[in-house]
């Protein structure tokens, strides 16, 4: 091996060792392999997939597999009035995931979250953040439309939220943004009003979460766009910190 390559290799090893030591000091005890063979079986929900020797025994399930399991889901009564299950769209490796409440009429018809006027406003917010809809992932807590757009009931949340958790563990985003009162209160198990929840970092399933207003609320209350932009600036700052 040429001397220059040998020197580069040595420096890389030193950098990796320093990184692992930093992680150990932070209390991180496991490092997950990036390239887990595709032919391993998908891990059951909640299973990390490393055996005692640190070898991968299973791989992360994919969004397609989770979607296939929902198929014609009848786990709660929301199945009765829906036209389509609205699973989610976007980048399966997104750094940022937006989570809303539940599909509305247009989303139910098209099978896609955040379409219509509120969806176009969300697209503009994402664009202002320097991204496109395809760069992020967008989904809802509930995958089927509640009748008359009422809030989902506790048993409906209980039936559907495990699929959101599985989506997030398949994507492993750096950050989550919850959109609107219901999504924030549901994910955070906190009944505080939106004007107290928004703008403050919280966590959902170990991932930092920023609650902000729903784009449909902004259409009715355009003055609150400024607050949403303040929240998104915090999100952009944290994404930049992750990238550096
Ligand atoms: S809301 Fe979720 S749990 Fe209920 S029927 Fe639809 S996909 Fe299934």
How many Å apart are CA 129 and CA 124, to the nearest integer? 9
User: What's the CA-to-centroid distance between 172 and ligand 1, angstroms?
Assistant: 22
Q: What is the pLDDT of residue 110?
A: 97
Q: What is the pLDDT of residue 88?
A: 98
Closest ligand 1 atom to 76 CA? 4
Average pLDDT, the chain: 89
Contact 77, 156 (CB under 8 A): yes
Closest ligand 1 atom to 142 CA? 1
99/243: higher pLDDT: 99
Closest-CA residue, ligand 1 atom 2, reads 160
Q: Is 108 in the pocket of ligand 1 (CB under 6 A)?
A: no
Distance between the two ends of the chain, CA-based, in angstroms?
Answer: 31
Q: Is 153 in the pocket of ligand 1 (CB under 6 A)?
A: no
User: Model-level pTM?
Assistant: 0.83
Q: What is the pLDDT of residue 134?
A: 97
Give the best-scoring range by mean pLDDT among 17-21, 55-59, 97-101: 97-101
Q: Tell which residue, 150, 157, 189, has the closest CA to residue 75.
A: 157
In sequence order, the 6+-apart residues with CB closer than 8 A to the CB of 231 are 177, 198, 199, 210, 211, 212
Question: Which range, of 30-39, 146-155, 163-172, averages the lowest pLDDT?
Answer: 30-39
Q: What is the pLDDT of residue 12?
A: 63
Contact 200, 107 (CB under 8 A): no
Q: Tell which residue, 88, 107, 239, has the closest CA to residue 171.
A: 88
Q: What is the pLDDT of residue 179?
A: 98
SS3 (DSSP) at 50: strand
How many Å apart are CA 81 and CA 15, to the nearest integer? 56
Give the confidence band of 244 by pLDDT, cuts at 50, 70, 90. confident
User: What's the CA-to-centroid distance between 75 and ligand 1, angstroms?
Assistant: 6
């Amino acid at each position: 091996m040429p001397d220059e390559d040998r020197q580069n290799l040595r420096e890389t090893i030193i950098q990796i060792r320093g990184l692992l030591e930093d992680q150990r000091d932070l209390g991180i005890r496991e490092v997950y392999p990036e390239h887990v063979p595709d032919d391993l079986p998908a891990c059951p929900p909640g299973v990390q997939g490393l055996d005692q020797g640190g070898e991968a025994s299973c791989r992360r399930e994919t969004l397609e597999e989770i979607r296939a399991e929902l198929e014609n889901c009848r786990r709660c009564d929301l199945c009765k009035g829906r036209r389509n299950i609205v699973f989610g769209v976007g980048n399966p490796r997104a750094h940022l995931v937006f989570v809303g409440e539940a599909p509305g009429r247009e989303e139910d018809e098209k099978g896609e979250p955040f379409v219509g006027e509120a969806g176009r406003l969300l697209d503009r917010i994402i664009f202002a953040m320097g991204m496109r809809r395809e760069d992020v992932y967008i989904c809802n807590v509930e995958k089927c439309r509640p009748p008359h757009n009422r809030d989902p009931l506790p048993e409906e949340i209980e039936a559907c939220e495990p699929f959101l958790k599985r989506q997030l563990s398949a994507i492993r985003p750096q950050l989550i943004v919850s959109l609107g009162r219901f999504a924030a209160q549901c994910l955070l198990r906190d009944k505080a009003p939106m004007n107290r929840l928004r703008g403050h970092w919280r966590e959902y399933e170990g991932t930092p979460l920023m609650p902000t207003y729903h784009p449909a609320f902004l259409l009715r209350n355009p003055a609150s766009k400024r607050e949403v932009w303040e929240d998104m600036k915090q999100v952009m700052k944290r994404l930049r910190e992750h990238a550096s």
